[in-house]
Structure 1
């Protein structure tokens, strides 16, 4: 049985090219930073959880909610192939129980804040907005798109950003949690405009305050799908010791 079943809907992805040294201390043991066309990315992602079930059960008042996360991309070589995954710097949700379960069970980095979203559907365009409140200030990400879906092209930047099927969490320098995320290949809406109004320092700390003055390299809106989270396991990485002479 999957640990989690849900629908991830209307994923707004703001992608920043960064110096990989910024991320090195966050890389879980047994993985390495995943690069696309020589570029190292972090992504700010806002989306909706819908029809959420934990171990097959719906938790009252925790079925539909927003999430905004900051993440980067890693890969792990195992059994002759590369497994491509994500690492979360922080995941913001409006439900304390979600934060407790994720931080306790997966040792993730969830934070509970007041959140809201809005979806405006017009004849030819859609607008998706996600907001979260830090102190007394609302942070906002917003995307306007055409309302026609298209495939995400193979070997494209959008495919690199959206097609990762594992999550990795750094426990300590020698151990890592791995879990698998299953979903079909996503489709996307063409982005027309976007808006970002975020206090990066207050939300993500000094390591990522530089994003305040950095423009996204790309912005995507993925329609999303049903997802499942399963096969959690702890990876114990044995350091390679050099022989002493």
Structure 2
């Protein structure tokens, strides 16, 4: 039976910067029941900044919480099902949003590693155009700390990534996997069409990586990204989470 939709929204104006990282940095974070999903034998992490627009939870708009920014660090995993299906998904290291209520709901419903911080952004007005220019997502990690940011300038014409394009690997993971405090795993499906992407100039991540993500990521994220692009985004549907048990069956978790 298909789970009921938990959240519907639009994800727009995405900045997606990826780096190769040593697999041993990620393995302790891999959710039970999944394995690392590698791109041509390389483990990748991605810093992603984007806009949530027209957000609804269980079909209802939440006043003051419909449009907001998010910046996350994620990596890629896969789950092989008994029938041969391969579910390719993402696992989050840290997710930043500007409102405490959003972070609380995400932690309660999915046990996702959300944190609420002051945020601001520079994005195109309205829908994504064919010349979106420079997109910037910024956040202040602590009171009195300097603002940090992820940014890139779109160049050229948009395209739909081809089958051997790193951008396709990064954008087309349609499952989420989250470790739980008891050692288990929650799985949820994310539905959206393929996105157009732009090549970029001047991609940058300016952040205290050790404080934000952990010392293990400092070396990898200090260099230039292995891929960098801007994506237009689309409407998305995020379905209710289900728990993956030790026998690879799915159970609905007790929390909302």
Structures share fold, TM-score greater than 0.5: yes
How do 1:1-245 residues align onto structure 2 when only pairs under 5 Å count?
1-78=4-81, 79-119=83-123, 126-135=133-142, 136-146=145-155, 148-172=157-181, 174-238=183-247
Unmatched runs of 5 consecutive residues or more in structure 2: 249-256
Structure 1 stretches of at least 4 aligned residues deviating more than 3 Å after TM superposition: 120-125
Superposition RMSD in Å: 1.9
Unmatched runs of 5 consecutive residues or more in structure 1: 240-245
Cα offsets for 1:208-243 (capped at 9, x unmatched)? 23345222111111110000011420011259xxxx
Q: Is the 8 A contact 2:19 2:221 kept in 1?
A: no
Greater strand content: 1
Aligned-residue offset at 1:192: 2.4
Q: Specify whether residues 174 and 205 from structure 1 end up closer, same or farther in structure 2 by C-alpha distance, changes over 3 A only.
A: closer
Q: Is the 8 A contact 1:128 1:144 kept in 2?
A: yes
TM-score by length of 2: 0.88
Question: What SS class does the counterpart of residue 105 from structure 2 fall into?
Answer: helix
- Which region of structure 1 is more displaced relative to structure 2, 190-199 or 39-48? 190-199
Aligned-residue offset at 1:189: 1.6
TM-score by length of 1: 0.92
Aligned-residue offset at 1:194: 1.7
Match of 2:254 in 1: none
Q: Is the 8 A contact 1:174 1:236 kept in 2?
A: no
Q: Distance in 1 between matches of 2:246 and 2:149?
A: 39
Aligned-residue offset at 1:196: 2.3
**Count of residue pairs the alignment pairs up:** 239
Q: Specify whether residues 194 and 234 from structure 1 end up closer, same or farther in structure 2 by C-alpha distance, changes over 3 A only.
A: same
Aligned-residue offset at 1:147: 6.0
Match of 1:243 in 2: none
